[in-house]
Amino acid sequence: MSVHDLTELLAGKRIAILTGAGCSTESGIPDYRGEGTLARARNPIQHREFMQQEATRKRYWARSTIGWPRMSRAEPNAAHRAIAELEALGRTTGVITQNVDRLHHKAGSRNVLELHGALADVRCTACGERESREALQHRILELNPTFADADSIARFRMAPDGDAELEDATIDDFHIPPCAVCRGVLKPDVVFFGGSVPRERVDAAFAILDAADVLLVVGSSLAVFSGFRFVLRARDRGMPIAIINRGPSRGDEHARVRVDANAGDVLPQCVPASALAGASTGTVSILAGSAASSRNERHST
């Protein structure tokens, strides 16, 4: 189907947006299932292994120490910016993102529900104390000064977890800082594979969906149930579903419109041209045909 079919479906409707890793690949953040995945495939971090095995935690934090500077410097792409413009126009009920990169926030979106948390936050598994990932990076480098070598960082390939591929020998001598308050085990405040999304977070995401007229899935294969559940909910409610994704997705049979393309190429075409022009001067203009509906649709969830 075409971008024209997509814009026709979205016209005049309140949109709930569900984003996956494919929304961020154009910002240089790799995914697990997109093009090129098989060339770099490895198992994602498992929640139980991280919690029970110090070797797994050491491997994760060593890789993260290399990958974090590049992750934190990643910039939003055209897809993130178009989503933020749609929110500014009052066309969205919110963004439910499976991503942990905070790029929607960087692009200017405000009503964002981070289904799986964010790598920018760290939490102690013992006392619950929170710490920014940037602050932890400084503590890590104090204990592991060789990891601060910029030349070493540049030669490693970034991986989907916001970390990097490292040889075992590089990891063996790595030291993990404990919680600064209770010396407990630190964990990125994200839901690893095999972990559970908190019930209240799922309920808040369903509220975003239930307030909408249409569900727009952007850059997700929907292979993981935590995202696919929103497609099932939309289907059960008789809500039209649109999917933008490179390659097939688990939700294709339920989609009214399916566009196989990069999100950054498609989404800007769904934003009124006058709004994009206005954005360059710090203002937002709405096409006359959608102004009334946009005013009526503006709300928070």
Point out the residues that are catalytic.
116
CA distances from 244 to 68, 101, 200 (A): 28, 20, 28
- CA–CA gap between residue 161 and residue 144 (Å, rounded): 21
Could you give the angle at the alpha carbon of 75 between the alpha carbons of 73 and 80, nearest 5°?
150
Residue 114 belongs to what H/E stretch? strand 112-114
Token representation of residue 275: 């709004």
How far is the C-alpha of 226 from the C-alpha of 203, rounded, in Å?
12
CB 29 within 8 A of CB 101: yes
Are 117 and 197 a contacting pair, CB within 8 Å?
no
Closest CA to 159 of 56, 75, 63, 224: 63
Q: Which of 110, 114, 93 is nearest to 213 (CA)?
A: 93
Q: What is the CA radius of gyration of the chain?
A: 20
